Amino acid sequence: MNVFDDIAGRIRGALAALSTSGTLAADIDHEGFDVETPRDPTHGDFASNVAMVLSKRAGMKPRDLAEAVKARLEGERGFAKIDVAGPGFLNMTMEPAFWHGLVVAVGREGAAYGRSDIGKGAKVNVEYVSANPTGPMHVGHCRGAVFGDALANLLAFTGYEVTREYYINDAGGQVDVLARSAFLRYREALGEDIGPIPEGLYPGEYLKPVGAALAKTHKKTLLDLREDEWLPPVREFAIAAMLDMIRDDLAALNIRHDVFTSEAALSRGKTDKVKLAIDALRKKGLIYEGRLERPKGHDDEEWEDREQTLFRSTAFGDEADRALQKSDGSYTYFAGDVAYHYDKLARGYRHLVNVFGADHVGYLPRVLAIVAAFTGGKLDVDAKGRLRSWRTVGGSADLELKVVSLVKLYKGGEPYKMSKRAGTFVTLRDVVDEVGRDPVRFMMIYRKELEPLDFDFAKVTEQSKDNPVFYVQYAHARAASVFRNAKEAFSDLDPGAELAGADLSRLTDPDELALIRKLAHFPRLTAGAAEAREPHRVAFYLYDLASTFHGLWTRGNDSPHLRFIQATDRSLTVARLALVAATRQVISSGLSVLGVEAPDAMR
RNA sequence: GCGCCCGUAGCUCAGAUGGAUAGAGCACUCGCCUUCUAAGCGAGUGGUCGCAGGUUCGAGUCCUGCCGGGCGCGCCA
């Protein structure tokens, strides 16, 4: 049940009737108008700009058209008052019974309330986290991880078929560094004094267990091998260990990916998928041998002018063509990404969503170019060739990039610098252990993803009561407690059976109706948030809903007749319980989208 | 130098894809616990939506140019 769709449908019905009766031309397009809640409550429950939007097409003045629609709607059930206001707004106030019907709908739909089919079952792949498997997750990874996970939940909630994917960057130099670092710990585990960790290797303690495990498995056999002999098996072993650790870290945040795709595996084994993907681009005339210009604003002595294999990403608006092979003949990271997106598209996704950190923005146009090339689409650019959005358009499938601004770390008000090399980083596990999973998740989503986020470790751990997550959870706990107390007032109460038959006309207080209106927003909110790929809207909505609920609750302190439980009036109690149940349901559903617990009690 | 992102109350941020008189939290002031959980509620103070133009019935939202802050810009990953 989406009341906005309901009202829009009724307006469409009125327009159709007007076309039939000849007031409107029969062939004009009726779409493009909005139904929304006016900011000013005195303007009614709903406002529509239908008359202003259609006035040109109809050849009528907005106010005249509004009056005509109004006359048609006034015969409909549910409308208490309709006004034409301002330049031609249609302001509609509904009967209380209309709102009571929504409580019934929430009760009937239960956990399905707020879900929608706007995704139409389209397959969407959400790729997020994709941290290098060279160490544990740190707080910096946290935001993209939680954002991606909540977005995936949201898309699933709104009718998409979602795959959660992690791209393992297990090729290239960094994992070799990992292998050498692990090898050092292996020697250490065998009793050797390795001294300080050399510059350029990872010093973290987390590699000690890896070294010990290597020693246990291989005894001293690796010591006699040359590096090119021991490195591959050590690398493979260390990567597996790091991935286990990362999976554990993610599980601590309640994040589980469906698919892990290995970068290294793309060009390993029988078929070189990187070569396949590049060949596919070559067939489209997008691969050539050539030279790149020296980049501006960069004066590096090591710059080498060299003829190389290039992808013509400038054809899609990228600022330069991109190299696919390094001078040693191995593939670049970008070449792997070409194959990776080729592979994802081959798996039949209609939408690809990648969550990136803001420090990767410079890389994004070329990724868009890959997908545009494979899907026959293009980048979303304006007349001057500048990007209008981080997505491809017009192809058989599209890629959308979500850029998550970095988290700025503070410790007690002072900026806190992290360095994996120096071993001074705050792990995700540290944060979750101290603050708790729910506050971390909520905090990371309680901000638009493009907005920088200040994360004060000390403040968050010491003053976690300030976190809005408790406010929302508390509303849910209070709702649950009402039911416990109701059982005491009416020992034979059976909510499951009685709520469905509640006499909701007993809900007459303006604040009760205001709460229902808030609940009515939920389906529209989730749909809008999903389309905009903005899970933070759900968090803000829940805060707002919780606030409305707390307000109603507290009014019961001063005005006992407004308390939910009225020991002498079972019918009224049951009606209010139906409202409380609906509120509890929406909070619970909303929190589940965010991946946050909805506790029944908080003390 | 170039590209991207951000600029809204003292601070931290929303603003539902262009709607009517711009909102919330924190902070500050004043009230509310014998009573469904005070991790709560009500009221008040606080604004040139960075600046200047433009588009239209209407702009915090779209366009142009500036100013300020952040991130980034080679075969790294």
Residues near A349 by beta carbon (within 8 Å), at least 6 away in sequence: A123, A124, A125, A163, A397
Rounded Cα distance, A17 and A558, in Å: 50
Question: What phi and psi values does residue A82 have, to the nearest 5 degrees?
Answer: -130, 130
Q: Is residue A258 part of a domain?
A: no
- Pairing between β-strand A414-415 and β-strand A407-411 as defined by DSSP bridges: antiparallel
Length A43 CA → B57 C1' (Å): 19
Q: At what angle do helices A570-594 and A510-532 cross, to 10 degrees?
A: 20
Cα A164 to Cα A124: distance, rounded to the nearest angstrom: 9
Return d(Cα A116, Cα A155) in angstroms, integer. Answer: 10
Whole-number distance in Å between A555 CA and B23 C1': 23
**Residue A380 identity (one-letter amino acid):** D
Enter the DSSP assignment of A321: -
* Residue A317 domain flag: no
Residue where a domain terminates, one of A48, A79, A94: A94
Q: Tell me the three-class secondary structure of A94-143, residue by residue.
A: ECHHHHHHHHHHHHHHHHHCCCCCCCCCCEEEEECCCCCCCCCCEHHHHH
Q: What Å distances lie between residue A337 and A145, A411, A495, CA to CA?
A: 20, 36, 54
Q: Are A538 and A526 contacting, i.e. CB atoms less than 8 angstroms apart?
A: yes
pLDDT along chain A (603 residues), means of 10: 94 92 85 88 91 87 92 92 91 95 96 96 96 89 94 98 97 94 97 92 93 96 95 96 96 96 91 95 94 65 78 90 91 96 97 94 94 93 79 93 87 68 74 88 92 78 76 96 94 90 95 95 96 96 96 93 94 96 98 97 88
Listed residues A50, A68, A94: the one ending a domain: A94
- A475 located within any domain: yes
- CATH no. for residue A492? 1.10.730.10
Mark which of A94, A128, A148 sits at the end of a domain.
A94
Cβ distance A387 to A317 under 8 Å?
A: yes
Burial A117-155 (b: 16+ CB within 10 A, else e): ebbeeebbbbbbbbbbbbbbbbbbbbbbbbbbbbbbbbb
Q: Which of residues 52-81 of A touch strand B (CB under 7 A)?
A: 52-53
Contacts of residue A28, Cβ cutoff 8 Å, sequence gap at least 6: A19, A54, A57, A58
Report if CB A359 to strand B is under 7 Å.
yes
Q: Which residue is nearest to nucleotide B4 (CA to C1')?
A: A361
10 Å Cβ neighbour count for A78? Answer: 18
How far: A531 CA to B20 C1' (Å)?
Answer: 26
pLDDT for the residue numbered A302: 65
Residue A33 lies in a domain: yes
- Is A40 near strand B, with its CB below 7 A from some atom of it? yes
Asked if strand B contacts A474 at the CB level, meaning under 7 A, the answer is: yes
Is residue A8 in a domain? yes
- For chain A residues 152-211, those near strand B by a CB cutoff of 7 A are 169, 171-175
Tell me the three-class secondary structure of A5-62, residue by residue: HHHHHHHHHHHHHHHHHCCCCCCCCCCCCCEECCCCHHHCCEEECHHHHHHHHHCCCH
* A24 within domain boundaries: yes
CA distance A248 to A256: 9
Rounded CA separation A438/A253 (Å): 8
* Confidence (pLDDT) at A139: 82
> How distant is C1' of B13 from CA of A595, in Å?
22
How distant is C1' of B16 from CA of A231, in Å? Answer: 54
The Å distance, CA of A398 to C1' of B9, is 41
Interstrand relation of A161-168 and A123-127 (parallel, antiparallel or unpaired) = parallel
Give, in Å, how far the C1' of B34 lies from the CA of A582.
32
3-state per-residue secondary structure call for A189-223:
HCCCCCCCCCCCCCCCHHHHHHHHHHHHHHCCHHH
User: Which of A561, A565, A567, A573 lies closest to A502, judged by CA?
Assistant: A573
Between the alpha carbon of residue A373 and those of residues A315, A317, A340, A361, A398, the distances in Å are 9, 12, 14, 19, 11
Are A156 and A211 in contact by the 8 Å Cβ rule? The answer is no
Contacting residues for A202 by C-beta, under 8 A, at least 6 apart: A134, A135, A177, A178, A181, A420, A421
By C-alpha to C1' distance, B35 is nearest to A557
Question: Quick one: which residue's CA is nearest to B5's C1'?
Answer: A450
Could you list the beta-strand ranges (E) of A296-427.
308-311, 322-323, 351-357, 378-381, 387-393, 398-404, 407-411, 414-415
Residue A26 sits in a domain whose CATH number is: 3.30.1360.70
The answer to whether the C-beta of A490 is closer than 7 A to strand B is: no
Q: Which nucleotide is nearest to A408 (CA to C1')?
A: B70
The count of domains in chain A is 2
Report the sign of the C-alpha dihedral through residues A591, A592, A597, A598, in that order: positive
A583 occurs within a structural domain = yes
pLDDT at A496: 86
Nucleic acid strand B: bases within 7 A of protein CB: 1-6, 12-17, 19-26, 32, 35-42, 57, 63-64, 70-77
**The pLDDT value given to residue A56:** 82
Instruction: Kindly determine whether the C-beta of residue A381 is less than 7 Å away from any atom of nucleic acid strand B.
Output: no
A360 touches strand B (CB under 7 A): yes
In a domain, A9, yes or no: yes
* A465-499: b (≥16 Cβ within 10 Å) or e: eebbbbbbbebbbbbbebbeebeeebeebebeebb
CB of A429 lies under 7 Å from some atom of strand B: no
Angstrom distance (rounded) from CA A542 to CA A358: 27
DSSP one-letter code for A406? P
Q: How many angstroms is C1' of B52 away from CA of A468?
A: 39
A577 lies in which domain range? 467-594
What was the pLDDT predicted at A454? 83
